[in-house]
Every structure is written in structure tokens, then in C-alpha cells.
């Protein structure tokens, strides 16, 4: 009676070890899936939105690139492209 441990024996230790490994595996896989999901949402921006810019002049570079892309796609004509480009460069 003095050495009675509840009847689990070695089987209890094995079951607890397996469940602990499964618990941590599910937790780590879930965390990785969450990080990938949240990081993936930033890559799905609208095609017409300018890329995020850093300090100062990077914003005008992004706007100029966007303007050049719109001109290349034929959304705006040459006169409008030159007029808007001059306006952007004027406000640098």
C-alpha cells in the first residue's frame, strides 16, 4: 500500500510525454501559420497603390514610378504624363 502510485505505471509517463510533444507541436505550428498569414496580407496590395516609401524623396520616387506605370499601360496620354510629372517634381 505504501508504494501505490495510482496505477498508471510507465504507461502514464509515456502518454504524458506524447501529449506534451503534441501540445507543443500544435502550438508552434499554429504560431508559424499565424505569422505567415499576417505577413502575407501585406503582399496583397492594390496594383495602383504606390509602394511604401522611406524618408523624404522616396515618396516622390514612388509617385513618379506609379505615374510612369500608368503612362506605360495607356491610362494617361503623354501630355497628361508630362504635366503631372512636372507637378510632382515641382513639389519635391
Percent of the chain with pLDDT over 70: 68
Flag whether 85 is in a domain: yes
Contact 84, 67 (CB under 8 A): yes
Flag whether 49 is in a domain: no
Flag whether 38 is in a domain: yes
Contacts of 49 (CB under 8 A, 6+ apart): none
> What is the total count of domains within the chain?
2
Flag whether 63 is in a domain: yes
C-alpha 46/C-alpha 65 separation (Å) is 15
Flag whether 74 is in a domain: yes
Flag whether 32 is in a domain: yes
Answer whether 0.85 is exceeded by the pTM. no
Q: What is the mean pLDDT of the chain?
A: 80
Q: Which domain holds residue 13?
A: 9-42
Q: pLDDT for 30-39, tens place per residue?
A: 999 999 989 8
Flag whether 47 is in a domain: no
Quote the longest CA-to-CA distance of the chain. Answer: 98
Amino acid at each position: 500500500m505504501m508504494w501505490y502510485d495510482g496505477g498508471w505505471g510507465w504507461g502514464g509517463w509515456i502518454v504524458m510525454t506524447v501529449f506534451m510533444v503534441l501540445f507543443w507541436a500544435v502550438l508552434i505550428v499554429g504560431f508559424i501559420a499565424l505569422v505567415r498569414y499576417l505577413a502575407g496580407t501585406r503582399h496583397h496590395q492594390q496594383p495602383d497603390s504606390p509602394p511604401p516609401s522611406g524618408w523624404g524623396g522616396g515618396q516622390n520616387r514612388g509617385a513618379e514610378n506609379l505615374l510612369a506605370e500608368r503612362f506605360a499601360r495607356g491610362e494617361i496620354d503623354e501630355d497628361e504624363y508630362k504635366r503631372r510629372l512636372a507637378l510632382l517634381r515641382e513639389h519635391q
